[in-house]
Amino acid sequence: MNIAMVSEHASPLAVLGGVDAGGQNVHVAELSAALVRAGCRVAVYTRRDDHRLAREVTMPSGVTVVHADAGPARTIPKDELLPYMDALSVELRRAFAAAPPDVVHGHFWMSGRAALAACKPLGIPVVQTFHALGSEKRRMQGLLDTSPRERLAEEGRIMRAVDRVVATSSSEMFELCRLGADPRRLRIVPCGVNAAFFASCRDALPLERRRSYRIVTLSRLVARKGVDDVIAALREVPDAELIVAGGPAPAELGGDAEAQRLAQHARACGVAERVTFLGRVEREDVPRLLRAADAVVCAAWYEPFGIVPLEAMAAGVPVIATAVGGQNDTVIDRFTGLHVAPKEPGAIAAALRELFADRTLRQRLAAAGRRRALERFTWDRIAAETVKVYRALARTPETVSHTA
């Protein structure tokens, strides 16, 4: 099959850790690579954000990344990209008219808008993954939500117009149904984890240990990821230190407003000497970072899916995760990890104390989490499920081989 991915702000080539570079980038890159391994041809269309970028770049995985001209060739926050989506749709329509893909898969709502405008006149089926829904973001963030005012109405139009919506969790499926999506057009296909990359790691990142136990949190430095809550929890876990990974490069942390706000929060909580801000961690070092932890905490207020818990599980590290979104599907409470309520530092602290007091519990959760990640969430398995969605829509009857 010939598949076109549209990921307007999240390029698979991007450096992870910035405000707008995280789970979606990983999802698009890993799913596309797994589809290539399954015998598909995959091109990812993303907005050119640097004039020096080549029109096409072939990744080592065999995925082709196409940089489309849509707006200024510079970094623009994703919430300011809507005015350039019409230009992106023109670029897509030109490319698809010349070489029609079997299916186009939009990632994020603005990509869905551009994909529909390009594909409907050409009769090309469109699959949509939202990655996050504006309704949930507005409900959880309120006035802090910086999404364009058109987002909610546009998401409703997209979910009604596309041929299939792929939800990444049961929570997202329920939200889509609540918003009026046709259940017959919905499918659940979760995110995955690079099993070989994380499960084969045996070494830990060499970090100086300053307390008996080490907690790691890895995320973009945005308020909804709940890093504040993990820092506050540290007050009630005196024998633990916290490593905060994510955000800009280490040398740029001093000029990053969110990093500085979190550092001030640590000082206000009286735990600054036990909190280390690593800044951006290179992707190849993430498994070793996770292996350096006694526990990985994922404390997001809401999380459409949440890839980090799966990565920690695959690496064999016990996970504490807020019981939100996709983390309810991947982390099974008291079997593969521990659930806590969002925005409750006291609950995080209690879970950490329980883990650190019981080595057998840590080992049991780590082993069960690893099995679950490797048995159910490999990207090859996720690609096979995604191909089933494509196959039901595509015009070609060819059989695609895959490794499940």
Count of beta carbons in the 10 Å neighbourhood of residue 367: 13
Region at 349 (left for phi over 0; alpha for psi -120 to 50; beta for the rest): alpha
Question: What pLDDT, on a 0 to 100 scale, did the predictor assign at position 196?
Answer: 87
Residues of the chain with pLDDT > 90, as a percent, come to 86
**Residues 208 and 286 placed together within one structural domain of the fold:** yes
Task: Calculate Rg over the CA atoms of the chain.
Answer: 21
**Residue 377 structure tokens:** 């969430």
Q: Are residues 169 and 268 in the same domain?
A: no
Mean pLDDT of 210-238: 96
Torsion 29-34-36-42 (CA) sign: negative
Same domain flag for 359 and 384: no
For residue 241, pLDDT over 90 is answered with yes
> Does residue 398 lie in a domain region?
no
pLDDT at position 404: 35
> Where does residue 25 fall: left (phi above 0), alpha (psi -120 to 50 degrees), or beta otherwise?
alpha
Does 284 share its domain with 186? no
The band of 148, judged by pLDDT with boundaries at 50, 70 and 90, is very high
- 251-305 pLDDT, tens digit per residue, is 999 999 999 999 999 999 999 999 999 999 988 999 999 999 999 999 999 888 8
Instruction: Write the pLDDT tens digit of every residue in 345-404.
Output: 999 999 999 999 999 999 999 999 999 999 999 999 999 999 999 999 975 444 344 333
Tell whether 403 is covered by a domain. Answer: no
Q: Is the pLDDT of residue 94 over 70?
A: yes
What band does 186 get if pLDDT is binned at 50, 70 and 90?
Answer: very high
C-alpha distances out from residue 182 to 161, 185, 266, 379, Å = 10, 6, 46, 27
> Are 357 and 213 a contacting pair, CB within 8 Å?
no
pLDDT at 166: 97
Number of domains in the chain: 2
Of residues 35 and 282, more confidence is placed in: 35
Distance CA 64, CA 120 (A): 23
Residue 404 maps to a domain: no
Q: What is the mean pLDDT of residues 167-182?
A: 94
182/326 same-domain check:
no
Q: Please determine, for residue 103, whether its predicted confidence score (pLDDT) is greater than 60.
A: yes
First to last CA, the chain: 17
Task: In whole angstroms, give the CA distance from residue 228 to residue 55.
Answer: 40
**Is 136 a domain residue?**
yes
- In whole angstroms, give the CA distance from residue 62 to residue 170: 31
- Answer yes or no: is 401 within a domain: no
Which domain covers residue 323, as residue numbers?
A: 196-376
Tell me the average pLDDT across 148-163: 96
**Residue 43's pLDDT band (cuts 50, 70, 90):** very high
pTM to 2 decimal places = 0.88
Pairing state between β 64-68 and 56-58? antiparallel
Q: Considering only residues 398 and 6, tell me which one the structure prediction assigns the higher pLDDT.
A: 6
Q: Confirm if 70 and 84 have CB atoms less than 8 A apart.
A: yes
Pair (165, 223) in one structural domain: no
| CATH number of the CATH domain containing 270 | 3.40.50.2000
Tell me, yes or no, whether 400 lies in a domain.
no
Mean pLDDT on 340-346: 97
380 and 266 Cβ atoms separated by less than 8 Å: no
Q: Is the pLDDT of residue 181 over 80?
A: yes
Among 30-34, 202-206, 263-267, the least confident range: 202-206
The predicted structure's pLDDT at residue 22: 66
Same domain, 117 and 174: yes
Q: Is residue 145 part of a domain?
A: yes
Distance, CA of 208 to CA of 126 (rounded, Å): 49
At 16 the pLDDT is 54
> Is residue 326 predicted with pLDDT exceeding 70?
yes
Q: Are 307 and 372 contained in the same domain?
A: yes
- Residue 397: per-residue pLDDT: 44
Order of all β-strands in the sheet with 338-340: 275-279, 240-245, 213-218, 295-298, 319-322, 338-340
Question: Rounded to whole angstroms, how far apart are CA atoms 64 and 33?
Answer: 10
Residues pairing with 44 in the sheet = 5, 65
Residue 62: what pLDDT?
A: 96
The Cα–Cα gap between 195 and 191 comes to 12
DSSP state of 15: P
Question: In DSSP terms, which residues pair with 164 in a beta bridge?
Answer: 127
Task: Please report the pLDDT score of residue 123 as a whole number.
Answer: 96
Specify the pLDDT at position 395.
52
Residues 52 and 105 reside in one and the same domain? yes
CA distance 381 to 390: 15
Domain presence at residue 85: yes
Give the pLDDT band (50/70/90) at residue 136. Answer: confident
152: left (phi over 0), alpha (psi -120 to 50) or beta: alpha
Q: Please provide the average confidence, as pLDDT, over all residues in the chain.
A: 93
Is residue 36 located within the same domain as residue 181?
yes
Residues 366 and 291 occupy one common structural domain: yes
Answer whether 219's CB lies under 8 Å from 243's CB.
Answer: no
Measured over the CA atoms of residue 221, residue 31, residue 115 and residue 92, the dihedral's sign is positive
Please check whether residues 218 and 146 belong to one and the same domain: no
